[in-house]
Amino acid sequence: MVTGASRGIGKACALELAKAGAKVALAARQVERLEETAAEIRRAGGEAFVAPMDLSSHDSIKEGFAAAANHFGPIGILVNNAAVTRDGLALRMKPADWDAVLQTNLSGTFYCIQQVLSPMLKERWGRIVNISSVVGESGNVGQANYVASKAGVIGLTKAMAQELGSRTITVNAIAPGFIETDMTAVLKDEVKASILGTIPLKRFGRPEDVAAAVRFLCSEEAGYITGHVLDVNGGMYMR
């Protein structure tokens, strides 16, 4: 299951996992774009299932996961990618904007994890990869809600890794830096130029860069890695 699979990082992750042989359930609110991703997977010989889902709704999450499990069987890999932004300085941030971002990005991630726990525990195997963000580690002006949600995802990752490790279920996070997606395309050129100056590799990331990291963390080769935060940021933030 890949959430936020209709575009950007989520779509790239879905395509990469399908290429690696996984049957992929695609979740997002934009059904038409999910169908496009599914069609692309099928044209390449893979299997895909569209599961419409709104991560701000617990009922929608339950329904989407139930439909995917009914179609494919127990879910063994979960990529929590879906996220929203409602940027603004803290002084003027509306409660609705704070709540919307935390509900989707953090609570939604947790509720998605809950949906796969029973089958993974029964199978004694699973891979959970949560997409955080470089700003969840470094902070960022004007994004108190988004930063808090992504920092929360890192904490959630470590807690779940400790809870689930004895059942051979790994839980890791990826913290992308500046990735060229629809979410970042709206930034002004001078903002992009300023960000580029902070990246040692001197280029912005591609969704495929994150997808490759996701594929690795979902593989058997990564079976002894859990509770880890993998930075895919070109060096713009180094711990």
Q: Are 105 and 150 in contact (CB under 8 A)?
A: yes
> Cβ(75)–Cβ(69) under 8 Å?
yes
Catalytic residue among 111, 146, 224, 237: 146
Centre a 10 Å sphere on the Cβ of residue 120 and count the other Cβ atoms it contains: 22
Q: What is the Cα–Cα distance from 239 to 235, expressed in whole angstroms?
A: 10
- The alpha helices in 30-92, defined as continuous H runs, are 31-43, 58-72
Q: Which residues contact 141 (CB under 8 A, 6 or more apart)?
A: 89
Tokens of 129: 């990869």
Contact 207, 9 (CB under 8 A): yes
User: Catalytic: 146?
Assistant: yes
Active site residues: 146
